[in-house]
Amino acid sequence: MHGFSYKNGSLFCEDVSLSTLADEYGTPLYVYSAGTILDHYKRLNAAMGDIDHEVAYAVKANSNLSVLRLLATHGAGFDIVSGGELFRVIKAGGDPAHCTFAGVGKTRAEIIYALEQGIYSFNVESEEELRYLNDVAGELGVIAPAAVRVNPNVDAKTHKYISTGKSENKFGVDFGVILDLYERASKELKNIKLRGLQMHIGSQLTSIAPFIEAIEKVTPLVRELKARHGIEFWSIGGGIGIIYEQSLQSGSIEWWENQMDDERPLTIERYGKELVPRLHDLGLKILLEPGRYIVGNAGVLLTKCLYEKKGTAKTFKIVDAGMNDLIRPALYEGHHEIVPLVEPANGVRVTVDVVGPICESGDFFCQDRPLADFNPGDLVALMSAGAYGFAMASNYNSRPLPAEILVEGGTATLVRKRQSLDDLIEGEL
Ligand SMILES: *Cc1c(COP(=O)(O)O)cnc(C)c1O
């Protein structure tokens, strides 16, 4: 379910017209629906039923302070991957005691900062890192809470760039050596408190099978770690996929009900129904680290068509957003539905490439896709751009970063100003 739909022929976010926002704030423009973010957050909590659990929102998906504050005020914890993300969480009013710190390359400065702030757990990705964490904690005279990330060697069946749970990925510690590592650490690393176990097998998983496979594979290990080392939590990671196609229709219940069973994508209810019974009796706190599921469908990127260029082979619609604003299609063949802000009067489609102004052939939002036609001057929305959208935006080609708006009901708030030209050179000497 999400907060974007046509009302009287024009696309709205909740009760705010997107064309009005584009006129007022310019394009490219990110717009987020607070209602959708909270709806997804609450539905995930509901799907986990009565098991002791906590949602640690993966900040890297969308780290705008207002998005973080919204989730913090509703009790979310946070999964961070850098000192910068911890800084943002604290600025947004989040509680470091509900933060887990993931990532394969934590620096000394980041470790010290996180120890000083009192985070809940360092999710450690190698024995070397665990030893280093122990040393730094020793220097500061504190105990570092830690969990090791297990690599269960499970195929998440997602794009190779966002698969993380196979032996050949750089993430985590091999399944087979975890028990030995915990034994050694508990004997030798006096400044480490082994608090849990963590895993995360990949992103944008659209079937339940890899989640089940990973949980069933790791459960005996988790039981053993609890018995031997008294761990208190198991983080089962994030990775819940979202629908990128037909997202306008899929906002409605009727659309869901009309899907054939095997075409029905992974729903959060299914996720809960399959996983909760498997996790219920472990006596552990279950941590979830969703990013995309919480914010993905909750955001759009508005862009204006500048030119239509008819080549001999193709028709290009050139828009004012580029891969620097939204890199997912260029980076990992990410798909975004593209719809005009004025509802198409008929079902006529033209086959086009929608491309940005950046000097790269990879700068496209779709290729040879049948779309409702639009013309120079018209506004379109790239749907489901709330996750890994603005968060991955850059100044490439010296383009100022777009503005961001958060909509709550009928109220639209500017939550990040568009960068100015002066912002572009700020800090250069
Ligand atoms: C990226 C990441 C997540 C979030 O992944 P989503 O697919 O956005 O849910 C969770 N945990 C870790 C360790 C990650 O690196």
Tokens 């032996």 belong to residue: 167
Distance 247 CA to ligand 1 centre (A): 22
pLDDT given for residue 292 in this prediction = 97
Q: How far is CA 196 from CA 74, 90, 129, 238, 285, in A?
A: 24, 23, 16, 16, 9
Burial class (CB in 10 A: 0-12, 13-18, 19+), 63: buried
- Is the pLDDT at 247 greater than 70? The verdict is no
- pLDDT band of residue 225 (cuts 50, 70, 90) is very high
Can you tell me whether residue 301 is helix, strand or coil? strand
pLDDT tens-digit series, residues 76-88: 999 999 999 999 9
Chain segment 43-85, per-residue pLDDT in tens: 999 999 999 999 999 999 999 999 999 999 999 999 999 999 9
For residue 256, pLDDT over 60 is answered with: no
The reply to whether ligand 1 has any atom less than 6 angstroms from the CB of 67 is no
CA distance to 84, 196, 230, 279, per residue, from 227 (Å): 36, 12, 6, 16
Q: What's the pLDDT score for residue 1?
A: 59
Asked if residue 103 has its Cβ within 6 Å of ligand 1, the reply is: no
Residue identified by tokens 């990925």 is: 169
Question: In 10 A of CB 326, how many CB atoms?
Answer: 26
Mean pLDDT, range 330-342, rounded to an integer: 94
Atom of ligand 1 nearest to the CA of 205: 7
Sheet bearing 16-17, strands edge to edge? 4-7, 10-13, 16-17
> Strand pairing partners for 284?
none
CA distance between the termini of the chain: 48
Q: Residue 255: its pLDDT value, please?
A: 53
The pLDDT, as a whole number, for residue 253 is 47
- Residue 116, pLDDT > 90, answer yes
Distance from CA of residue 11 to its chain's centroid?
24
**Cα gap 288→40, rounded to integer Å:** 13
- Residue 250: what pLDDT? 52
Q: In this structure, which CATH number among 3.40.1160.10, 1.10.1040.10, 2.40.37.10, 3.30.70.380 belongs to the domain 4-13+21-29+297-424? A: 2.40.37.10
| Catalytic residue set | 359
pLDDT of residue 244: 86
Atom number, ligand 1, closest to the C-alpha of residue 102: 13
List the chain domain ranges.
4-13+21-29+297-424, 34-295
Amino acid at 293: Y
CA max distance for the chain: 71
> Which H, E and C letters describe 379-429, residue by residue?
EEEECCCCCCCHHHCCCHHHCCCCEEEEEECCEEEEEECCCCHHHHHCCCC
Say whether 34-295 and 4-13+21-29+297-424 share the same fold. Answer: no
CATH class, domain 34-295, is alpha beta
Which has the minimum average pLDDT: 99-108, 124-133, 184-193, 239-248?
A: 239-248
Structure tokens at 293: 């599921």
H or E, element range at 276: helix 268-279
Ligand 1 centroid–CA 224 distance in Å is 26
Average pLDDT over residues 386-393: 98
Comparing C-alpha atoms, which of 275, 396, 278, 250 is closest to residue 327? 396
pLDDT of residue 243: 86
Distance (angstroms) between ligand 1 centre and the Cα of 331 equals: 17
Buried b (16+ CB within 10 A) or exposed e, 202-235: bbbbeebebbebbbeebeebbeebbeebebbbbb
Q: What is d(CA 19, CA 195) in angstroms, rounded to the nearest whole number?
A: 49
**Interatomic CA distance for residues 303 and 29, integer angstroms:** 7
- Sole residue written with tokens 């914010």: 295
**pLDDT at res. 163:** 72
pLDDT in tens, 270-299: 999 999 999 999 999 999 999 999 999 999
Query: CA nearest 406: which of 65, 111, 8?
Result: 65
Q: What is the pTM of this model?
A: 0.95
Q: What is the mean pLDDT of residues 358-370?
A: 95
- Which helix (H) or strand (E) is 234 found in, with range? strand 233-235
Between 304 and 266, the higher pLDDT residue:
304
Contact 166, 155 (CB under 8 A): yes
Q: Mean pLDDT, to the nearest integer, of 104-123?
A: 98
Share of the chain above pLDDT 90, in %: 86
Residue 79: the pLDDT is 98
Nearest-atom number in ligand 1 for the CA of 202 is: 7
How many whole angstroms from 94 Cα to the centroid of ligand 1?
A: 18
Determine the distance from the C-alpha atom of residue 120 to the mean position of all C-alpha atoms in its chain, rounded to a whole number: 21
Is the pLDDT score of 246 beyond 70?
Answer: no
Q: What are 421's two structure tokens?
A: 């030209």
Residue 249, pLDDT score: 56
Q: Mean pLDDT in the chain?
A: 94
Q: How far apart are CA 366 and CA 329, in angstroms?
A: 8
Residue with the larger pLDDT of the pair 259 and 304: 304
